[in-house]
A and B are shown apart, each in its own frame.
Chain A
């Protein structure tokens, strides 16, 4: 089966600019997650979708981050305006089973550098 697709692979922007990341999960996976992974750390959950509804965005910095999942398939994560501390890899994952009761499938991520 095709994996989780993410684009772009790399992005370099200046602080205060905006940026958007795209994710296409595995077909049939209703649950989609965005994680932020800062260098040297484990991934941190930003937001979880079930179909096109948000089920957990408690750790999403909503003053600058936003995410949507139209039609319950593709998802975009946006940062506006970006800060230096947003430099990280943004990982998208999907799962067949709602919640962490099975394994997640991750995309290769988007590496964001804010200068």
Chain B
């Protein structure tokens, strides 16, 4: 089954720096979603970008989507210690019979104060 793959697997930055995470997928999608998971907690939906969109913003988050390269990136600007978490991209097969979110393995972000 299709699965997004995040890169890098782990990222460590200083507070105030920007963090960029990438996601690659294999087949055509209807939309791509990003989620955050704090240690020991459930996932929190951050942003959804549709296949006909190229860029989307939400607060300090910026997501881009390049369907020709089958990739997406999540940029967190001016990072804070509270942004420390794992970030997952999730994809949906376009035209799937039911369509379900399929998650990658995630990028573990550590923001040091």
Contacts and interface: CB of A to CB of B under 8 A. Distances in A.
Interface residues of B, number: 24
A48 B105 contact: no
A106 interface: yes
Interface string A39-82: 01111110010000001100000000000000000000000000
Interface residues of A, number: 26
B42 A103 contact: no
A99 B92 CA distance: 9
A104 B106 CA distance: 17
Interface in A71-106: 91, 93, 99-106
Interface stretch (B12-20, B62-70, B93-101): B93-101
Interface of B: 3, 30-31, 33, 35, 40-45, 48, 88, 90, 92, 98-106
